[in-house]
């Protein structure tokens, strides 16, 4: 009889674990496919160079100098020019998220040029995303250089126009360009997703593995009552965490609350409900806690990159931009950042709230149907 040694015992346990993984119907596929799919997905999706910057244009001069300035912005191929009738209308469009920057050219640009004076105009940038704002400023600087070169050429040919332009840069909603103002609302969404989805899925799968749920169903308790009973504690935990994270963000990190507190909590609670439904739905598909954890990661990681959490949505190509419309975290971030940073009201956030409402209804409905079938 061969003597047992620490090495043989360790190898025997490792062999047993390999067999356990191989016999799992889902886990081997997830181990191989998940990193490959994520690598291919984000290798093509990630792009730090933003395009299609929605630029609100207030042209009060309407002459050939202002036309030259606007044509140089359009020639950058990174701006989407959207005419605005007034400064107030442009600010309202920025508050609603319809434009991300404003270019305002005052009256008399041609007259200033003829009098050998710098041509003034102002660029207002949405600073709620400092990375995005920096790229807008860089693209604007390139357009300004082109304008200076064009006006210089005209001056040399005619002697009537001066070369200098005098752009003024102003930052809206985050004048200090503080990254915490942008990151903390995003982190609240990520934290709520992790807590609500993972804890719910793991708890229900664990109870199925131990036979606790089957023991409940053997009593007079109905499946709908089991679902509601499971949801209530985690809904309370999610609501508490939402309030905790947003409160800490406001008081500790100085994230402003420019809009309605009640609207902010409504967005958070809808997001919590949807994530709880998603957690229950995962628990009906996953056979083990490991499978549930992998499924949660497979959902959370794409959400980070396709929601605007880390990178501006303007950096996504057309396919991934369309795909991001299916990511609930995107609508949560639109609502929370709009309410907290820009003071956006419900009327301008209807799309975000419709997305959050559909997320909650669809996941809870599918989870209820699947849960009843698996009992």
pLDDT tens readout for residues 106-122: 888 777 777 777 778 88
User: Is the pLDDT higher at 113 or at 87?
Assistant: 87
pLDDT band with cut points at 50, 70 and 90 for residue 132: confident
pLDDT tens readout for residues 219-276: 667 767 777 888 888 889 888 988 898 899 899 988 999 999 999 999 999 999 999 9
Same domain, 224 and 294: yes
Please check whether residue 299 is in contact with residue 328, taking contact to mean a CB–CB distance below 8 angstroms. Answer: no
- Alpha-carbon span 284 to 293, nearest angstrom: 13
Q: Is residue 38 in some structural domain?
A: no
Q: Is residue 155 in some structural domain?
A: yes
Percent of the chain with pLDDT over 70: 87
* Model confidence at 58: pLDDT above 90: yes
Q: Is residue 44 in some structural domain?
A: no
Same domain, 211 and 115: no
| pTM as predicted | 0.83
Q: What is the 3-state secondary structure (H, E, C) of 304-368?
A: HHHCCCCCCHHHCCHHHHHHHHHCHHHHHHHHHHHHHHHCCCHHHHHHHHHHHHHHHHHHHHHHH
The number of CA neighbours under 13 Å toward the Cβ of 118 is 9
Which residues partner with 290 through β-bridges?
A: none
- Alpha-carbon span 370 to 223, nearest angstrom: 11
Same domain, 275 and 157: no
Listed residues 126, 152, 172: the one ending a domain: 172
Same domain, 193 and 166: no
Number of domains in the chain: 2
What tokens appear for 166 in the block?
């005098």
pLDDT tens readout for residues 343-363: 999 999 999 999 999 999 999
DSSP character string of 208-223: HHHTHHHHHHTTT--H
Same domain, 199 and 320: yes
Q: How confident is the model at residue 151, as a pLDDT?
A: 60
- Alpha-carbon span 284 to 223, nearest angstrom: 13
Same domain, 291 and 159: no
Same domain, 146 and 200: no
Name the residue range of residue 72's domain: 53-172
Q: Is residue 10 in some structural domain?
A: no
Q: How confident is the model at residue 1, as a pLDDT?
A: 47
- 79-83/101-105 β-pairing: unpaired
Q: How confident is the model at residue 81, as a pLDDT?
A: 93
- Alpha-carbon span 143 to 103, nearest angstrom: 12
Same domain, 200 and 80: no
Same domain, 332 and 221: yes
Same domain, 97 and 151: yes
Q: Is residue 2 in some structural domain?
A: no
What tokens appear for 251 in the block?
């008081």
- Alpha-carbon span 349 to 27, nearest angstrom: 40
Q: Please report, for the domain that includes residue 136, its CATH number.
A: 3.40.1710.10
Please check whether residue 199 is in contact with residue 234, taking contact to mean a CB–CB distance below 8 angstroms. Answer: yes
Listed residues 125, 151, 172: the one ending a domain: 172
Q: Rounded to 5 degrees, what are φ and ψ at 102?
A: -130, 130
Q: Is residue 46 in some structural domain?
A: no
Listed residues 116, 138, 172: the one ending a domain: 172
Same domain, 198 and 335: yes
Q: Is residue 121 in some structural domain?
A: yes
Q: What is the mean pLDDT of residues 124-136?
A: 87
- Looking at every residue in the chain, the average pLDDT score rounds to 83
Q: Using only C-alpha atoms, what is the Rg of the chain?
A: 27
Q: Is residue 113 in some structural domain?
A: yes
Contacts for 348 with CB less than 8 Å, ≥ 6 apart = 95, 96, 97, 98, 338
Same domain, 303 and 239: yes
């Amino acid at each position: 009889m061969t003597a047992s040694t620490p090495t043989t015992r360790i190898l025997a346990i490792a062999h047993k674990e390999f067999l356990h993984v191989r016999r799992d119907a889902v886990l081997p596929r997830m181990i191989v496919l998940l990193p490959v799919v994520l690598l291919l997905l984000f290798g093509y999706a990630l792009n730090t160079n933003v395009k299609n910057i929605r630029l609100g244009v207030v042209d009060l001069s309407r002459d050939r100098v202002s036309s030259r300035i606007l044509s140089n912005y359009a020639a950058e191929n990174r701006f989407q020019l959207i005419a605005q009738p007034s400064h107030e209308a442009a600010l309202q469009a920025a508050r609603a998220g319809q434009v991300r920057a404003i270019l305002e050219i005052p009256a008399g640009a041609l007259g200033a040029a003829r009098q050998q004076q710098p041509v003034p105009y102002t660029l207002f940038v949405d600073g709620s995303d400092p990375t995005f704002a920096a790229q807008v400023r860089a693209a604007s600087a390139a357009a300004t250089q082109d304008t200076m070169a064009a006006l210089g050429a005209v001056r040399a040919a005619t002697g009537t126009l001066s070369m200098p332009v005098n752009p003024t840069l102003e930052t809206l909603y985050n004048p200090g360009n503080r990254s915490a103002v942008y990151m903390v609302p995003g982190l609240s969404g990520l934290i709520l997703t992790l807590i609500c989805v993972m804890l719910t899925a793991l708890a229900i799968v664990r109870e199925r593995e131990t036979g606790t749920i089957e023991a409940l169903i053997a009593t007079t308790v109905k499946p709908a009552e089991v679902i509601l009973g499971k949801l209530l504690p985690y809904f309370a935990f999610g609501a508490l965490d939402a309030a905790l994270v947003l409160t800490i963000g406001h008081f500790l990190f100085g994230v402003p609350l420019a809009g309605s507190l009640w609207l902010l909590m409504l967005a958070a609670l809808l997001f919590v409900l949807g994530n709880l439904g998603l957690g229950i739905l995962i628990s009906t598909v996953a056979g083990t806690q490991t499978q549930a954890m992998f499924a949660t990661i497979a959902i959370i990681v794409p959400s980070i990159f396709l929601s605007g959490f880390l990178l501006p949505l303007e950096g996504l190509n057309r396919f991934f931009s369309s795909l991001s419309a299916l990511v609930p975290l995107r609508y949560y971030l639109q609502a929370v950042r709009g309410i907290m940073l820009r003071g956006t009201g419900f009327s301008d956030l209807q799309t975000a709230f419709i997305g959050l409402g559909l997320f909650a209804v669809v996941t809870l409905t599918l989870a209820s149907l699947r849960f009843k079938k698996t009992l």
